[in-house]
Structure 1
């Protein structure tokens, strides 16, 4: 069975492919319908992140609770986790932190540090992207006066967002591996 990070690396390719498709049809001026590819790319990138978070907490809970798997306690915890994951949408920094603190007693956000990012900057960036994803999904802008609507996300912003989300998943995975399995 593929790991959470393996699934993430496969899923994030959808966002990268949408960006590549945008690039392939982009001309000056770009077609009016090209904007949808960038919005979809942002949605797919953050969906890959959401799925990673969900898969990773389940993966770690399976390891943590292997000794009580099938017991009343093990079944209770897994049912509660599954209920919570059904309501786990828009994985902001606070929601992600709460999930990992509640189930694994670990603040994952403290591990969100790499290159030019501190945990605070990573949290702010993630929250901004989550908000933008909400706009991309629920607030498609219509043209006014035959002028195209302003683009929600620029091409270079999408490229940076995809790179950020990939780095965030890698930092999270590394942090969790280091702190959850010290006794290996």
Structure 2
């Protein structure tokens, strides 16, 4: 297991603990409303864990690949280029993730995302849907208490399972290259 995946496993626990808090508060008697903001927070933390995984995985593998060039101008240039690009990598959708892996590791990891009926396009599409929901959760607060919630509790369970599998599959793809 890569260090990046290990860090992801630790980070995803934050989202799971937020959902546990949601479940606890939601079961309390006499509450005025459902603590919907905790589900949004769990969604944001899940996608943040994914974004950090992608950044860490590329940096970890690139550092290993450049070990023999350590200290050279070439290695320093490549590392500084990655560092600069990661500053702007804040939307880890399928296109941007594919681009970062191709640019720095010459690998399209998204081709390996085939656990959903053997179809990588479905996994890419699902990732993009979650990214869109994260954007809504970050930038839009729900003011209407009667409105449908952005993400349901069962959806958050699916979200966690999806990203755990996405990281597992991506990590395996990197190892196999």
- What TM-score do the two structures reach when normalised by structure 2? 0.93
Paired residue secondary structure (2:35)? helix
Corresponding residue to 1:153 among 151, 154, 161 = 151
Number of residue equivalences: 175
* Match runs of 1:2-17 below 5 Å: 3-17=3-17
- Which residue does 2:50 correspond to in 1? 49
- What TM-score do the two structures reach when normalised by structure 1? 0.90
**Which sections of structure 1, spanning at least 5 residues, go unmatched?**
180-184
The alignment status of 1:108 with 2:109, answered yes or no, reads yes
For 2:30 and 2:147, how far apart are their aligned partners in 1? 13
Q: Which runs of 4+ in 1 moved over 3 A?
A: 27-31
The verdict on how the C-alpha distance between 1:103 and 1:29 changes in structure 2, with shifts beyond 3 A counting, is farther
**Which sections of structure 2, spanning at least 5 residues, go unmatched?**
none
For 2:8 and 2:94, how far apart are their aligned partners in 1? 18
Q: Tell me if the contact between 1:32 and 1:148 (Cα under 8 Å) persists in the aligned partners.
A: no
For 2:13 and 2:25, how far apart are their aligned partners in 1? 18
What displacement does 1:178 show?
1.1
Tell me whether 13-22 or 108-117 shows the greater mean CA deviation. Answer: 108-117
- Which residue does 1:38 correspond to in 2? 39
For 1:29 and 1:166, how far apart are their aligned partners in 2? 35
- Which residue does 2:138 correspond to in 1? 137
For 2:32 and 2:126, how far apart are their aligned partners in 1? 29
Q: Tell me if the contact between 2:22 and 2:38 (Cα under 8 Å) persists in the aligned partners.
A: yes
For 2:31 and 2:122, how far apart are their aligned partners in 1? 33
Q: Tell me if the contact between 2:26 and 2:34 (Cα under 8 Å) persists in the aligned partners.
A: no
Query: What do you get for the CA RMSD once the two structures are aligned?
Result: 1.7
